[in-house]
Amino acid sequence: MSNDNLMFTATEHGQSMHAKVKAFIETHIEPIEAQFWEECHKKNPDGNWENWEWPEAYENLRKQAREEGLWNLFLPDDTLGAGLSVTDYAPIAELTGRSLLAPHVFNCNAPDSGNMELLWRYGTQEQQDKWLTPLLEGETRSVFCMTEPDVASSDATNMQATAMVDGDEIVINGSKWWSSGLGDPAVDVLIVMAYTADESADRHHQHSMVLVPVNTPGVNIKRMLKVFGDYDAPHGHGEISFENVRVPVSHFIGGPGKGFEIAQGRLGPGRIHHCMRCIGAAEKSLELAVKRGMSRTAFGKPLLQLGGNFERISEARIKIDQARLLTLYAAQKMDAQGTKKALTEISAIKVVAPTVLQEVVDMAIQIHGGMGVCQDTMLPGFYAQARVLRLADGPDEVHKTMIAKLELKRQGFSRSAKSDKA
């Protein structure tokens, strides 16, 4: 595994955690991962999503990871989390990205990690006691509901779901989909982003985030969505409707109209975590490609030594290392100057990392031949991850537009940047 972060040396604590996570993954996760997902598919047959469940190994591994102090590694708080900076966490998240199970084992999986960080940063004490503590303990799971089926949600101001104040309650109406993690049997809370009309505010201060317990009357899970024909059970991605759902006004996060401000804070770290995991998945894919390509022969030579395959391996190495450097650069800027000062770098890596993963996995699949698209390797899972991440948390085009606007602004063309609504 290439992890020579020469320019970005991790602290001693970061290096020690990295070594422990690496040993845990190699000893306890890698040997059982293929069998784990096979059992998962057996336990969660199609069409039965109300009763989805994790295999027994899931809780056992999580318990063991927690006992070894490998828990909530993403959270910079040194009491509630591992106390790692973004730069320290980057190579650790990369390690976990080599596996589709490891992020769950260390309580570092999306969307829970982003939701926990959001509650840690913006939640009231009461909200933290009720929802953050059990999430940090790994007892419950959470969902982030922003995207809607009826509007182009890459422009979040299109959102139609409403969260209106009525006395001391918030009334929520509308539909959401692609609500990730909704199938998990431990889900107990949804963070719903919705429109709260306020004529005195601009269009970026008319949306709120509201905590909605999943069993509140009026919350209806309509169906689970498949990704390339797979339900991703028991985590899953759901479509959900809200019909006159009532919760106390104390369930606003940060107050009414603060949705966009908070989303920017939530999505920054969440996005870079996804990118770090993409780089780990790309490394793993490259390793699989080399192993397969050197152990199988055709036309009298190892597959890798045939027509252009060496070049494909070298291109993969170059792309992965470029993506890693850009990710570490973004991480370091976030640590030094905060998320809001690192928007260009976060958007840049959000475009680069999933694209690199998609290209590297595609190459690895090609080297594997038919084996590359079946359940015998993690490549199909990595491919779905890469393709999905070019849409989720903002499609590539939206991030590129953002980078261009920031660049124009940086060069003094702020009016032209503002006039482009996209």
Residues that bind ligand FAD (CB under 6 A): 111, 144-147, 152-154, 178-180, 227, 237, 388, 391-395, 397-398, 401, 422
Sorted by sequence, the CB contacts under 8 Å of residue 81 that are 6+ apart come out as 72, 73, 74, 75, 136
Q: Between 237 and 324, whose beta carbon lies closer to ligand FAD?
A: 237
- For ligand FAD, which is the closer residue by CB, 73 or 187? 187
* Nearest residue (CB) to ligand FAD, 227 versus 306: 227
**Closer Cβ to ligand FAD, 87 or 385, answer by number:** 385
The smaller minimum CB distance to ligand FAD, of residues 332 and 347, is found at 347
The 3 state secondary structure assigned to the chain is: CCCCCCCCCCCHHHHHHHHHHHHHHHHHHHHHHHHHHHHHHHHCCCCCHHHCCCCHHHHHHHHHHHHCCCCCCCCCCCCCCCCCCHHHHHHHHHHHHCCCCHHHHCCCCCCHHHHHHHHHHHCCHHHHHHHHHHHHHCCCEEEEECCCCCCCCCCHHHCCCEEEEECCEEEEEEEEEEEECCCCCCEEEEEEEEECCCCCCCHHHCEEEEEEECCCCCEEEEEEECECCECCCCCCEEEEEEEEEEEEHHHECCCCCCHHHHHHHHHHHHHHHHHHHHHHHHHHHHHHHHHHHHHCEECCEEHHHCCCHHHHHHHHHHHHHHHHHHHHHHHHHHHHHCHHHHHHHHHHHHHHHHHHHHHHHHHHHHHHHHHHHCCCCCHHHHHHHHHHHCCCCCCHHHHHHHHHHHHHHHCCCHHHHHHCCC
Instruction: Rank residues 158 and 322 by Cβ distance to ligand FAD and give the closer one.
Output: 158
- The nearest distance, CB 44 to ligand FAD, in angstroms, is 17
Name which of 147 and 332 has its Cβ closer to ligand FAD.
Answer: 147
- Residue 22 CB, nearest distance to ligand FAD (Å)? 28
For residue 43, the minimal CB distance to ligand FAD (Å) is 21
Nearer to ligand FAD, 180 or 339 (CB): 180
Q: How far is the CB of 230 from ligand FAD (least distance, A)?
A: 10
| Residue 273: CB minimum distance to ligand FAD, A | 14
Least Å distance, CB 401 to ligand FAD, is 5
CB of 195 to ligand FAD, least distance (A): 14
In the complex, what is the shortest distance from the CB of residue 404 to ligand FAD, in angstroms, rounded to a whole number?
Answer: 10
